[in-house]
Amino acid sequence: MPVYKAPLRDQQFVIHELLGAVEALRALPRYAELDAGTVNQVLEEAGRFSEEVLLPLNRSGDEEGCTYDPATRAVRTPAGFVAAFEKFREAGWQGLTAEDEFGGQALPQLLQIAFDEMRCATNQAWTMYSGLTLGAYECLAHTASAAQKALYLPKLASAEWTGTMCLTESHCGTDLGLLRTKAVPQADGSYRITGSKIFISAGEHDFAGNIVHLVLARLPDAPAGTRGISLFIVPKFLPEGSGAQARAGARNGVYCGGIEHKMGIHGNSTCQMVFEDATGWLVGEPNKGLHAMFVMMNGARLGVGVQGLGLTEAAYQNAVAYARERVQGRSLTGPKAPEQAADPIIVHADVRRMLLTARAYAEGGRAFAYWIAVMADQQVHHPDEAQRRFAGDMMALMTPIVKAFLTDNGFFRSSECLQVFGGHGYIREWGMEQLLRDSRINMIYEGTNTIQSLDLLGRKVLSDSGARLTSFGKLVEAFVAEHGTDEDMNEFVTPLADLGDKVRKLTMEIGMKALGNQDEAGAAAVDYLRVVGHLVFAYFWARMAQVALARIAADGARVDAFYPRKLATARFYFQRLLPETAYHIRAARSGAKNLMEFHTDWF
């Protein structure tokens, strides 16, 4: 059976020792009262919920999946999912970061991200129902009118109602400018929504008394393309009454027309949604819907990156447990378990390579994602405008990297950790093939990882002539300047500084080439994201190595084994994983010609 233990020790290391996150957050008036004890307590409770409530439902949820009843157009989720959601709702988890005026706990984003990591590690399919609800809350909190907020936010923060995002149509996924769903204004200020959406996660289910669909549609006089898209609230049941007292009333004209049978996340309903003159209400300004939806999409992109992180950790933990138990062959340097017929496979160098790869990507990803969570709060709540701007720049620059780098890692590490099981990984019993199947979608939805790469290179780097990247580069340079003369840090600082230099040159080279031919950017983007992702990871791994070295020096022989372990993982990262950048830089520099000279009809 799959195993999982909340990685509390490492989470606390990142939060308290690496990032000094509680101090950083206390500088924000909103969190002036925050203390380390509260943070640790929430982490422990969240870990317990993930281990005890979600993990036991992961396998059964995958095997049973969701079922659709065409007669009632209802969706039933796997056994145990609803009861788990009730526990989650009663404990107030949905409103962890929501404003207190809407019934939330107003805690930092950091705790949400840490919880998301653990609940995705234990049950991604289940977690998505509340993940979409959180996204809908954030979108409405940002864009909706005061009356809409008063009506919907308390229901979403308490998970009495859940949310969805309805963008995709059968002919338009990446290119939302093609969407056709129509919204016709009515005399009473509402709109009639007509059209079909596909692939809508959590579009229909049995978790909640109402489902609040956030729908992109076109007004009759809307301009073509993305400039003519508006955002609407379309609830499954029309609210009766106003404010927090509202109840779910008459059935609206929005139905689930069927669910998809898919590769993974079977416990999450992926719905075709039909809107038949459904009543909806405009959110924000007409034709500015895509902009409003970007609040939800950016939050969801970070959330999907964290799904990748959670699955990397889950795959790692299971592979380590197996590698300690499974005995095959002897160590090349002589038996390590002579009392047994063979040694545990964890003695073999290549098994260790696979385990350490997953470990290094999980721990590096945790440091990166938790830092971004602090930036998310600083961007909105920091009293200093310059720090708000810096945090906003980091959020913009890093969102596509969190999404694509962490989800690529989630899938490829799940695959390698499955390999540790040999043939036993390929069969169902151990749960590894489910992790691999579940992790695959993370590279696709919320904008494919190719689209994230184009966003990074085109919109986040080249469009501001590298200003945001330079801001991050200054953090790297400051770290290099501070620790560059420390001999023990040389093995980390030198390759970090070198990569920073190479990224600068690569960016300029691609930028120059793209001026003459935009395909140059398209051809380089995926390799470029991988290189910049490594720059970010190298920065955090160097910082983690520095904290570990300081503790080892201070505590001597009495040092907690956690720190030598961290240092050894840092060394593995720098020596075995970072060199991947050489390949990607070379591939990115090879240009567009080797792709574009191949005529389309030669394929």
Ligand X SMILES: Cc1cc2nc3c(=O)[nH]c(=O)nc-3n(C[C@H](O)[C@H](O)[C@H](O)COP(=O)(O)OP(=O)(O)OC[C@H]3O[C@@H](n4cnc5c(N)ncnc54)[C@H](O)[C@@H]3O)c2cc1C
Which residues are known catalytic residues? Answer: 446
| Minimum CB distance to ligand X, residue 397 (Å) | 20
The only residue of 199, 412, 479, 537 in contact with ligand X, by rule CB under 6 A: 199
The only residue of 109, 127, 133, 270 in contact with ligand X, by rule CB under 6 A: 270
Would you say 441 or 549 has its CB closer to ligand X?
441
Q: For residues 210 and 248, is the Cβ–Cβ distance under 8 A?
A: yes
Per-residue binding letters, 150-179, with ligand X (x by CB under 6 A): ---------------xxxx----xx-----
| Minimum CB distance to ligand X, residue 262 (Å) | 6
In the block, which residue shows the tokens 């919907």?
A: 152
Helices (H), 170-327: 289-325
Would you say 377 or 446 has its CB closer to ligand X?
446
The only residue of 182, 192, 262, 437 in contact with ligand X, by rule CB under 6 A: 262
| Residue of this chain nearest to ligand X (CB atom) | 173
Would you say 348 or 403 has its CB closer to ligand X?
403
Would you say 27 or 444 has its CB closer to ligand X?
444
Would you say 61 or 447 has its CB closer to ligand X?
447
CA torsion, points 313, 318, 321, 327, in degrees to nearest 10? -130
Work out whether 444 is an interface residue with ligand X (CB under 6 A).
Answer: yes
Contacts of ligand X in 275-304 (CB under 6 A) = none
Stretch of 194-202, 306-314, 316-324, 419-427 contacting ligand X, by CB under 6 A:
194-202
Sign for the CA dihedral angle at 374, 377, 383, 386 comes to: positive
Q: Residue 165: which of 70, 305, 74, 273 has the closest Cα?
A: 273
The only residue of 201, 317, 439, 581 in contact with ligand X, by rule CB under 6 A: 201
| Minimum CB distance to ligand X, residue 246 (Å) | 25
What single string gives the DSSP state of each residue in 2-15?
------HHHHHIII
Work out whether 200 is an interface residue with ligand X (CB under 6 A).
Answer: yes
Work out whether 445 is an interface residue with ligand X (CB under 6 A).
Answer: yes
Give 173's strand partners.
none
Q: Residue 113: which of 137, 97, 132, 90 has the closest Cα?
A: 97
Work out whether 407 is an interface residue with ligand X (CB under 6 A).
Answer: no
Tokens (6 digits) for 573: 């990262």
Would you say 53 or 441 has its CB closer to ligand X?
441
Rounded CA gap, 232 and 164, in Å? 12
3-state secondary structure of 210: strand
| Minimum CB distance to ligand X, residue 522 (Å) | 6
Helices (H), 382-431: 385-420, 423-426
User: Strands 191-201, 210-217: parallel, antiparallel or unpaired by DSSP?
Assistant: unpaired
Number of residues that bind ligand X (CB under 6 A): 18
Tokens (6 digits) for 353: 């390579």
Rg (CA), the chain: 25
Rounded CA gap, 166 and 162, in Å? 13
Q: Residue 545: which of 517, 568, 520 has the closest Cα?
A: 568
Would you say 262 or 352 has its CB closer to ligand X?
262
| Minimum CB distance to ligand X, residue 263 (Å) | 8
Amino acid at 478: A
Stretch of 358-366, 368-376, 445-453, 471-479 contacting ligand X, by CB under 6 A:
445-453
Provide the angle, in degrees to the nearest 10, between the axes of the packed helices 349-381 and 519-555: 100
Q: Residue 158: which of 221, 207, 116, 224 has the closest Cα?
A: 207
Would you say 18 or 215 has its CB closer to ligand X?
215
Would you say 109 or 168 has its CB closer to ligand X?
168
Rounded CA gap, 83 and 65, in Å? 16
Amino acid at 66: C
CA angle 137, 143, 144 (to 5 degrees): 75
- Spell out the SS3 assignment of 212-251: EEEEEEECCCCCCHHHHCEEEEEECEEEECCHHHCEEEEE
Provide the angle, in degrees to the nearest 10, between the axes of the packed helices 109-143 and 289-325: 160
Work out whether 450 is an interface residue with ligand X (CB under 6 A).
Answer: yes
The only residue of 105, 448, 470, 517 in contact with ligand X, by rule CB under 6 A: 448
Would you say 168 or 181 has its CB closer to ligand X?
168
| Minimum CB distance to ligand X, residue 169 (Å) | 8
Contacts of ligand X in 38-97 (CB under 6 A) = none
Q: For residues 129 and 85, is the Cβ–Cβ distance under 8 A?
A: yes
Stretch of 100-108, 338-346, 408-416, 440-448 contacting ligand X, by CB under 6 A:
440-448
| Minimum CB distance to ligand X, residue 273 (Å) | 9
Stretch of 97-105, 197-205, 278-286, 394-402 contacting ligand X, by CB under 6 A:
197-205
Would you say 232 or 539 has its CB closer to ligand X?
232
| Minimum CB distance to ligand X, residue 360 (Å) | 27
| Minimum CB distance to ligand X, residue 334 (Å) | 49
Work out whether 441 is an interface residue with ligand X (CB under 6 A).
Answer: yes
| Minimum CB distance to ligand X, residue 110 (Å) | 25
Q: Residue 166: which of 222, 96, 229, 122 has the closest Cα?
A: 229
| Minimum CB distance to ligand X, residue 103 (Å) | 25
Rounded CA gap, 93 and 105, in Å? 9
Per-residue binding letters, 24-43, with ligand X (x by CB under 6 A): --------------------
Sign for the CA dihedral angle at 547, 550, 555, 559 comes to: positive
Work out whether 340 is an interface residue with ligand X (CB under 6 A).
Answer: no
Work out whether 387 is an interface residue with ligand X (CB under 6 A).
Answer: no
Tokens (6 digits) for 266: 């079977």
Binding site for ligand X (CB under 6 A): 165-168, 173-174, 199-201, 262, 270, 441, 444-445, 447-448, 450-451
